[in-house]
Chains A and B, each alone.
Chain A
Amino acid sequence: MGNKTDKEGAMVTLEGGGEPLLSVRNLKVHFPMDEGRVRAVDGVSFDVQPGQVVGIVGESGCGKSVTMKAILRIVEPPGRIVEGQIMYHSRASGEAGTSKVRGTIDLVGLAPNGKEMRDIRGAEIALIPQEPMAAFSPVHTVGNQVIEAIRLHRDLSKSAARQLAVDTFRDVGISMPEQRIDSYSWQMSGGLRQRAMIAMALAANPRLLIADEPTTAIDVTTQAQILRLLRKLRFEYNSAIIFITHDLGVIAQMADYVVVMYLGKVMAQGPVDDLFHNPLHPYTQALLRSIPSVQSAPRVKLPTISGSIPHAFNRPKGCPFHPRCTSFMPGVCDRDEPELKAVDGRQLVSCFLFRDTPEVANGQA
């Protein structure tokens, strides 16, 4: 295992830039069930640079939501982080901030409901959930819930917190924020609720926002509004965003860096332009080819990926994608699990097709 960690350590420098805000290393989240162990997340590694939008894309069962929950330490039992690190680099002590957290912390080492984790959750890392209807309590006004969230992490008087909440509401494009802040969540439309949710997440000025499919429950035109808002806020608040979605279109429009997952594994990751215009992993290639686009020619047969996603209990041996892969190499792909390796200096790919690249050769030498 030590050898592997070394190699993954090299990844950080490869991705360039300074110190990452968040480094997930070889994260494994397993769900022991009566019927067997579900390896929902099985060795996921990626970095989030400050201010970067990292898109995690994958189909059902790929583990993208569990990864998100692991970072926030809200994995439901029987799920458990069995291995790996989630290194969070909090802001330097001189920097203006609201948090009491300092230095580099491994989130895996913290108690899920301990004080430190609660200080990080909300104040440093905030979540924009998928279903804003369920995220607000119907018996309190939206404003009170936002004010409560602010006062939980910042030492502000009630009126100052309210002022901050109103300002944040204005920032997320809610008209008449002074009045809207006193309404209940069920009085708001879907798009408005989602904006209020974003305001609540932003109110504590977090450095990392995790958006879990924030636009799947809303309409196309509202989705466009929300995406535009997130793009704008990202610069205003200088927050990094982990954007989780199954929609490749949304990823292309939003992300700087993309992590492609399949059955708990990272298949490929890299800058968005490389990943969409020079996809290396057979899964990424096939996925991009198979989606109909408004750009593509109508009524032609789409290239498909054969078969369907296996159930978590029937996970194939070796590379999890091999039964559906067109480049399947018998005796190789179905025996060992490929490791994530840097291929063209920008992308990381986990596929045996790329085992002869120089980096790997060096690594083995």
Chain B
Amino acid sequence: MARPETNPDPAPPFLEVRSLTKYYPITKGFRRRVTGLVKAVDDVSFSIREGETMGLVGESGCGKTTTARCVLRALEPTGGQILFQTADSGTVDLAPLSRRELRPLRRQMQMIFQDPFGSLNPRMNLFDIVGEPLLVNGMPNRKERQERVAELLGLVGLRPEYMQRFPHAFSGGQRQRIGIARALALNPRLVVADEPVSALDVSVQAQVLNLLLELQERLGLTYLFVAHDLSVVKHICDHVAVMYVGKLVETADTKTLFYSPKHPYTASLLSAVPIPDPRLRSEGIELSGEVPSPANPPPGCYFHPRCAYAIDVCKTQSPLLRQVSPGHFVSCHRAGELPLQGIVT
């Protein structure tokens, strides 16, 4: 999964997700007979190199958040492997681990949440919120914790004097900083950010994005960045994976994906982004219809009912993810032969 200009990396990737699946059963009736499966995540594979940012994009219900939560093992995947390069004990497959086996690994991977109001316990003050990860991971000394919390608050741009305050005293952007400080308390190596700026006001979004970039540089973090806003993804990610109804449709480095997409869904997604410039009013690609439900997807390629380029094979056969150029994977029967356009400049 190397970029075209760099040599293929001999070392195993930092995080490699292989054929990840997460199915939810649909039950019916009193005896809860299983009548079907919702394939929330269906055979998703990607990998991230250390210190880079992978963006997972897609519309609501595409499975991007489920994928991210499976990677963190907040959810139990139905199948597949999550190969994570730990700091000390080599590569570990997180997928089959039990709650107990996961606990020592938790400190290496943390999450930043979308909702800055729901993700902080309103009954705890900042010291407890940011210091809790330290406390439960073996730092019982209060004084030591206080020093570390002060340091962390400084790192995310909050005054250490705020330690005694409760979350209700802070605005959305500040709460998001608190959430980041908590996530960073254990010096994680992988940070999963689930729509970290979409609940924030426009004028505050940029502050948080800058902070995330700055922290990545200073601490060498690896991000898995889940978002629906393509402008934000383009701004922060090195690689992007596009999902549609639980499946990965295209993944490439950001530049390739945004300027020469090879999947018709990616292209229409890009053209649908409203550009904040009245001189660039594009009519874009008209996508008819809407995202199908993962409980009842169409046969063949899930995108074919909305695709302008669909041919007979698309209606019957599900396309496989294949490499069209180094590091650029597309799941489309007609990848490479379509006249698709990326973002206009």
- Residues on A facing B (Cβ under 8 Å): 59-60, 189-192, 219-225, 227-228, 246-253, 255, 272-273, 276-277, 286-288, 290-296, 298-299, 301-306, 308-309, 324
Q: Which residues of A contact B343 (CB under 8 A)?
A: 294-295
Q: Is B340 an interface residue (CB 8 A)?
A: no
The answer to whether B206 touches A294 (Cβ under 8 A) is no
Bound CA–CA A192/B258 (angstroms): 29
Flag B197-216 by CB within 8 Å of A: 1 or 0 each: 00001111111011001100
Find chain B residues with CB under 8 A from A296 CB.
231, 234-235
B210 touches A221 (CB 8 A): no
Q: Which residues of A contact B273 (CB under 8 A)?
A: 220, 249, 294
- Nearest CB in chain B to that of A190: its residue: B290
Cβ contact within 8 Å between A191 and B231 = no
Pairwise interchain contact B201-A222, C-beta atoms closer than 8 A: no
Contact B201 A294, beta carbon cutoff 8 Å: no
A selection of 22 A-B contacts at a CB cut-off of 8 Å is A219-B60, A219-B228, A222-B291, A223-B272, A228-B286, A246-B201, A249-B231, A249-B275, A276-B276, A290-B203, A291-B205, A292-B231, A292-B234, A294-B231, A295-B277, A296-B231, A301-B210, A301-B213, A302-B206, A305-B203, A305-B206, A306-B207
Contacts of B232 in A (CB 8 A): 292
Q: Min CB distance, A226 to chain B, in Å?
A: 11
For the complex, give the distance between the alpha carbons of A277 and B269 in Å.
26
A291 touches B234 (CB 8 A): no
B345 at the interface (CB under 8 A from A): yes
Q: Which of B206, B272, B278, B290 contacts A189 (CB 8 A)?
A: B290
Q: How far is the CA of A248 from the CA of B206 in the complex (A)?
A: 14
Beta-carbon contact of B290 and A191 below 8 Å: yes
* Bound Cα distance from A286 to B213, whole angstroms: 20
How many A-B pairs fall under 8 Å by CB? Answer: 154
State in angstroms the CA–CA spacing of A222 and B275 once bound together: 16
Complex: A225 Cα to B59 Cα, angstroms: 14
Shortest Cβ distance from residue B212 to the other chain A in the assembled complex, whole angstroms: 11
Q: Which of A59, A253, A305 contacts B281 (CB 8 A)?
A: A253
Sorted from nearest, which 10 A-B pairs have the closest CB atoms? A249-B274, A224-B272, A292-B235, A219-B59, A290-B206, A308-B171, A302-B206, A59-B201, A305-B203, A248-B276
Interface residues of B (CB under 8 A from A): 59-60, 171-174, 201-207, 209-210, 213-214, 228, 230-232, 234-237, 254-255, 258, 268-281, 283-284, 286-287, 290-291, 343, 345
Q: List chain A residues, Cβ under 8 A from B59.
A: 219-222
**Given A252-B278, A304-B207: A219 in contact with B236 (beta carbons within 8 A):** no
Assess the B209–A308 pair: CB atoms within 8 A. no
- Chain A residue with Cβ nearest B197: A292
Partner of B286, one of A225, A294, A302: A225
Q: Are B228 and A220 in touch, CB under 8 angstroms? A: yes
Cβ of B209: which chain A residues have Cβ within 8 Å of it?
292, 302
Chain A residues whose CB sits within 8 angstroms of the CB of B237 once the complex forms: 298
Find the A residue at minimum CB distance from B268: A221
The docked-state distance in angstroms from the alpha carbon of A253 to that of B344 is: 14
- Enumerate chain B residues within 8 angstroms of A60, measured Cβ to Cβ: 201
Question: By the criterion CB–CB under 8 Å, are A293 and B290 in contact?
Answer: no
Could you tell me the distance between the alpha carbons of A349 and B60 in the complex, rounded to whole angstroms?
39
The reply to whether A294 and B275 form a contact with Cβ atoms under 8 Å apart is yes
**B287 nearest CB neighbor, chain A only:** A221
Q: Which residue of B lies closest to A271 (CB)?
A: B278
- Residues on the B chain within 8 Å of A287, using CB: 202-203
Q: Please give, as numbers and ranges, the residues of chain A lying within 8 Å of B269 by CB-CB distance.
A: 220-221
Contacting B275 at CB < 8 Å: which of A190, A191, A220, A295? A295
Q: Most chain-A Cβ atoms within 10 A of its Cβ — which of B172, B235, B287?
A: B235
B230: chain A residues at CB < 8 Å are: 220, 294
Q: With both chains docked as a complex, state the minimum distance between the C-beta of B256 and any C-beta of chain A, in angstroms.
A: 12
For residue A324, which residues in chain B have a CB less than 8 angstroms away from its CB? 203
A223-B272, A294-B230 known; 5 other A-B pairs, CB under 8 Å? A219-B290, A220-B272, A252-B278, A302-B206, A304-B206
Complex Cα gap A222–B283 (Å)? 13
Q: In the complex, A277 Cα to B201 Cα: how many Å?
A: 22
A residues near B204, Cβ cutoff 8 Å: 305, 308-309
Contact A295 B201 (CB under 8 A): no
Which residues from B are CB-within-8-Å of A290? 202-203, 205-206
Known: A219-B228, A273-B278, A291-B202. Is A298-B236 also a contact (CB below 8 A)?
A: yes
Cα of A181 to Cα of B283 in the assembled complex, Å: 28
Docked pose: A102 CA to B284 CA in angstroms: 41
Query: Which residues of B sit under 8 angstroms from A292, Cβ to Cβ?
Result: 205-206, 209, 231-232, 234-236
Residues of chain A contacted by B207 (CB below 8 angstroms)? 304-306
